[in-house]
Amino acid sequence: MTQPAAGGTIVLGKGVAPVPGAPPLVYRDVALLERPGGRRFSLVVEEGAVIAVVGEEHSGVGWIGRLALGLVPPPSGSVEAFGVPIARLPYSELLVFRRRLGYLPLGDGLLQNLSLKDNVALPLRFATDHRLREVEDRVAQLIEDFRLRAIAALRPAQATEEDRRRAAMARAVALRPKIVVLERPFDGLSNRAATALLDKASRDEDGTRRAVLLTTRELAPSLRAMVTGVVRVAEGGVVEDPK
């Protein structure tokens, strides 16, 4: 699969192909909490949708991102990414298929021994067939787009929380995925910074809409206008359908 990028193409490694026309992400009767007779979580994230899943710490919402990436298998039900039951893939194929999804884990997931610039470059260096010059060009573009030029050489511990989150988001969209999964991406950020970050997550460089699935404990009014659906989770299941 190839995806156009400024200054060249992003060529992902070969692997399992997505099902044509399938939604970016589907949860079917998933048990977020292993409780006998407990609630089940079902959700379809359509192309271009921005869905916020809202839940408290012990609601089960913390599993949603990891299930989407196949980092853990669902204890019941299934999770499909682009029509593929992602957790059932052999490990080698799973690693390749994950490149189709952008991911910003809880916190930021940045490697502390690397600069912000090198963190942004990681997926391009290890998940594409890019030559070094092409990687450098793409990283430079991301550094500009996410306003990281002045701090690109800093390590995460030297940067502010907002700067780290922007670097993590730049890394999440480096391969121009059709969906990004964000775990509590706005914790500790101002409304202004959160709004700017969600706008970046939901739009590709060419202006097309990108699907977003984000988890949060609460959704600020300034962000509600930017999402297409809100799902409230309690005790492992949906208690409020997308609007």
Cα dihedral 64/67/69/71 (nearest 10): 120
Residue 195's region, left for phi above 0, alpha for psi from -120 to 50, else beta, is alpha
Q: Quick: pLDDT tens for 67-92.
A: 999 999 998 899 999 999 998 899 98
pLDDT, position 132: 82
What is the average per-residue pLDDT within 197-222?
Answer: 92
CA 28 vs. chain centroid, Å, equals 19
Sheet with 179-183, side-by-side order of all strands: 101-104, 179-183, 211-216, 50-54, 229-234, 237-240
Proportion of the chain in helix, strand, coil states, percent, rounded to 5: 35, 25, 40
Confidence (pTM)? 0.87
Comparison of pLDDT for 11 and 124, the residue scoring more: 124
Residues 6+ apart with CB under 8 A from 6: 137, 138, 141, 205
Indicate whether 30 pLDDT > 70: yes
Of the pLDDT bands very low, low, confident and very high (cuts 50, 70, 90), residue 39 is: confident
| Strand 101-104 versus strand 179-183 pairing type | parallel
Q: Quick: pLDDT tens for 54-64.
A: 999 889 999 99
Separation of alpha carbons 57 and 235, rounded Å? 10
Give CATH for domain 23-240: 3.40.50.300
Handedness of CA 171, 45, 53, 41 (dihedral sign): negative
Task: Look up residue 126 and give its amino acid.
Answer: F
pLDDT, position 240: 61
Angle between helices 132-145 and 161-172 (to 10 degrees): 130
Give me the residue spans of the domains in the chain: 23-240
> Which helix (DSSP H) or strand (DSSP E) does residue 143 occupy?
helix 132-145
pLDDT, position 114: 96
